[in-house]
Amino acid sequence: MGDAREVMDRLTAAMAGQDFEAMAACYAENAVAVTPDQGEIEGREAIVEYFRQLSMVFPDSGYESLQKHESGNVAIDEGYYTATHTEPLPMPSGETVPPTGKQLRMRSCDLATVEGGMITVHRLYFDQMEFLGQLGLIPEGSSS
């Protein structure tokens, strides 16, 4: 197992345990995360805050791994994000969505570039329409 895989596995464990200090230790200070919902997030503290906010909205969140790969200094994880929407969800517009009580099981893929034992770029991929559909905010399967 290489450095990238080891760091990604530590990050996944920290997320599962909602250990934000351990999460922060996985990221370089000037790391960048690219997300479908918030766009580009710059800096370790802002990235950890993104995950902290998700864990408050979805406190029982989990991850079901399907595939783990490593190529050079990049670790790739494919799986399902699982959670229950129990707290208000802040939207990029500044509005909030009240808790729906709905459960999510959404495919996701993460790519982490690791340099010097720390994540410098973290790309998260998930289908926002699937996310909104499973929460009952749009009809599931809607393409608009």
3-state secondary structure 97-125: ECCCCCEEEEEEEEEEEEECCEEEEEEEE
CB atoms within 10 A of CB 48: 22
The token duo for 137 is 């905010």
Q: Which neighbouring-strand residues pair with 16?
A: none
Percentage of the chain exceeding pLDDT 70 = 97
Cα–Cα dist 42/48, whole Å:
10
Q: What is the DSSP letter of 50?
A: H
In sequence order, what DSSP letters do the residues of 32-44 get, joined into one string? EEEETTTEEEESH
pLDDT at 119 over 70: yes
In this prediction, residues 76-103 reach a mean pLDDT of 93
Comparing C-alpha atoms, which of 101, 108, 127, 8 is closest to residue 64?
108
pLDDT attached to residue 142: 57
Cα–Cα dist 136/128, whole Å:
12
Tens digit of each residue's pLDDT (9 = 90 or more) over 8-56: 999 999 999 999 999 999 999 999 999 998 899 999 999 999 999 999 9
Helix (H) or strand (E) holding 9, with range, is helix 3-16
**Could you tell me if 125 and 34 are in contact, meaning their C-beta atoms sit under 8 angstroms apart?**
no
Cα–Cα dist 42/1, whole Å:
28
Cα–Cα dist 15/109, whole Å:
15
Domains of the chain (ranges plus CATH)?
3-134 (3.10.450.50)
